[in-house]
Structure 1
Amino acid sequence: MGLDPEPAAATRPTGAAIPRPVVYLPLDALAGPVCPRFGGVDESHARLLAESIDALPPIVVQARTYRIIDGMHRLRAVVLAGQFEIAAVLSDEDDDQAYLSAVAANISHGLPLSLADRRAAAARVVARYPEWSDRRVAKAVGLSGKTVGALRRTAAGTEAAVRIGSDGRVRPIDSARGREVARELLSRRPEASLREVASAAGISPATVRDVRDRMNRGDLADDVRPVPDNVRAIKPRTPDEVDCGRLLRNLSHDPSLRYTEVGRTLLRRLLNQPATVTVVEELPPHCLPIVARLTREYASRWADFAEQAERRARVEAA
């Protein structure tokens, strides 16, 4: 028995995802499950499925290994029904992706994974992705964030320095060191903006604000330590350097700009400018040439705009 793809549908709604072709696989070609259950296949559930075998969706199989990502009970139902092949769709996912897909599939439909299965899945995901936040792991395996946190604390392995949440944002696990750096930087340059200090210390602007408020109250006056050598220092502002934050705040409170369409458009464009160039370090290298070309072009346009503004200011002042 070969792989016989089903004919593709004649039409499909515009914008709908293109379905993967369904193939029929011989049962003896299939390997074990990507995500095994501690209790194995539930025979009573498989027998129930066998009674309605014609209505079952195809199973999902990893194309490279023929391991089953989703559908072990449907496979058992086909065996109980005396058939020798099963409808399937093939997935090109690697082992880690296939495992996450298998867990997701088995907590969203069919016979749910047991608590023991989900805890085992959480332990595996934490070991493979130590930088994932507890909530992100919990969402992937169907547990609570507190349960994942408890499992993480009892697991042996390398602890990541940051956590990456479901939103993709990177957050430090322990902000104590960043707070120490922020206190020292604020003691050197009290006038520095929250974002400047936050960028240098690797913490959020809100955390910097809390550190500054505590320093003003004297709560942490005796707890300032030297800044480690590998921490980026904040350059002192020269007398001629523009304080963009202060100037933007002044402009945004000017009624002649706030209450005209041209003024509001200008304010939006000024406020949306990059706050710092330090993000260059975080960009993928292959994007840098294009980013450089675009920013140079935009800088040239702003420079032309600045010259026109200065000329008109001189005319108005004459």
Structure 2
Amino acid sequence: MSGQPERGHDGGAGRSADLFAVRSGEVEQAEVESLRDGLSPRLTGVSPAHVQRLAGLTDDLPPIVVHRSSRRVIDGSHRLAAVRARGERTVPVVYFDGSDADAFVAAVRLNAAHGMPLPAQDRAAAARRILATHPHWSDRWIASVCRVAPRTVAALRRGSTDDDGRLNARLGRDGRSHPISAAAGRRLAAEIMRRHPDVSLREVARRTGISVGTAFDVRRKLAAGDAADAHPAPTAAPVGPARPGTEPASAVRERLAVLARDPSLRYTDQGRALLRLASATLAFAPRAELIAEAVPGHCRGSLHAVAVACAGSWRAFAEHLADQERTAHAG
């Protein structure tokens, strides 16, 4: 069993569907006395009450996941304590082969996904430790492992004393290297689109390391004849009318706050409904990837269709507003 990030059938690394892939190895029997604690991300250790409850169960407990080289428990500290309390001499285990750093990542993923929930301070501490051992991993990937928000990881990274400033790219959950700055990726994407106008956005994203959304933005600007703006330099937030997809989240929230105070929206049923929908969407957006990681496998197809339909409705709404704005200015 490898310590490398697992890849699911969908090609993505670190997907929630693979959280238990570490358990797919052969189950063996291990001497209880040979096993050690030390890899659990739980800062307070085991809960005596939970150990007592497990020790009183008559059903067989799931195998414990053990780091083969160090004999330390990756997942199952409470189960091991319960087996010790029963006085048993052997316990079923699945071995993990990998580095100490990757073993801790596996411990965090498994403990954060099932059993007793990890408290927020434990998840933050785990993120800090993974940042130190895997600085090349993206904020979103580490966030998905530890079940924290990507902005939490970004804040921990900024406050870290480790010097990872020489890294100009980070490894994403899809297993690909992504540039920290998308400027170079945008330039390359624009060049590819000029040479191959029919190339898919997904292929552009794969070849340049940028997201599909960024590739779409580059194509939109090229189609509008704004070649220089296909890879823009950082600028201040625009004061005038919004350009679709270009405003930072903070500026969008400010616009929504202004709209929420507008009497023509605030004091009409249709206006209030629109404001509620917009507010819910903005609140959902930063958490979308974490929420997606937690979606059960059998629900993904249907939710994908629902999400695409919702996104299409918002896009059609935005395009209709833009058409009305152009008509008003033309008049």
Question: Quick one: structure 1 residues 49 and 206, their matched pair in 2 at CA, closer, same or farther if it must change by over 3 Å?
Answer: same
Gap runs ≥5 in structure 1: 1-16, 224-318
Structure 2 match to 1:23? 29
Question: Quick one: structure 1 residues 106 and 18, their matched pair in 2 at CA, closer, same or farther if it must change by over 3 Å?
Answer: closer
1:138 aligns with 2:132: no
Contact 1:33/1:72 (CA < 8 Å) preserved in 2? no
* Distance in 2 of aligned mates of 1:76 and 1:63: 19
TM-score by length of 2: 0.50
1:37 aligns with 2:42: yes
Structure 1 match to 2:101? 96
CA RMSD in angstroms comes to 4.0
Structure 2 match to 1:237? none
Question: Quick one: structure 1 residues 205 and 193, their matched pair in 2 at CA, closer, same or farther if it must change by over 3 Å?
Answer: farther
* Distance in 2 of aligned mates of 1:214 and 1:118: 45
* Distance in 1 of aligned mates of 2:56 and 2:209: 59
TM-score by length of 1: 0.52
Question: Quick one: structure 1 residues 55 and 192, their matched pair in 2 at CA, closer, same or farther if it must change by over 3 Å?
Answer: closer
Q: Which has the higher contact order (CA 8 A, sep 6+)?
A: 2
Structure 2 match to 1:155? 160
Q: Measure how far apart 1:63 and its partner are.
A: 1.5
Equivalence map 1:99-118=2 (5 Å): 99-118=104-123
- Alignment-mate amino acid for residue 106 of structure 2: S
Deviations 1:24-53, CA, capped at 9 Å, x for gaps: 3132x1222323421111111111111016
**Structure label with greater radius of gyration:** 1
Q: Measure how far apart 1:119 and its partner are.
A: 0.8
Structure 1 match to 2:171? 164
Deviations 1:244-275, CA, capped at 9 Å, x for gaps: xxxxxxxxxxxxxxxxxxxxxxxxxxxxxxxx
Contact 1:131/1:161 (CA < 8 Å) preserved in 2? no
* Distance in 2 of aligned mates of 1:39 and 1:219: 52
Deviations 1:85-109, CA, capped at 9 Å, x for gaps: 3332322233232112111111122
* Distance in 1 of aligned mates of 2:131 and 2:73: 22
1:68 aligns with 2:77: no
* Distance in 2 of aligned mates of 1:170 and 1:216: 28
Structure 1 match to 2:52? 47
* Distance in 2 of aligned mates of 1:199 and 1:50: 50
Structure 2 match to 1:123? 128
Question: Quick one: structure 1 residues 214 and 83, their matched pair in 2 at CA, closer, same or farther if it must change by over 3 Å?
Answer: same
- Alignment-mate amino acid for residue 130 of structure 1: P
Overall identity of the aligned pairs, in %? 37
Question: Quick one: structure 1 residues 207 and 88, their matched pair in 2 at CA, closer, same or farther if it must change by over 3 Å?
Answer: same
Gap runs ≥5 in structure 2: 1-22, 234-331
* Distance in 2 of aligned mates of 1:113 and 1:144: 14
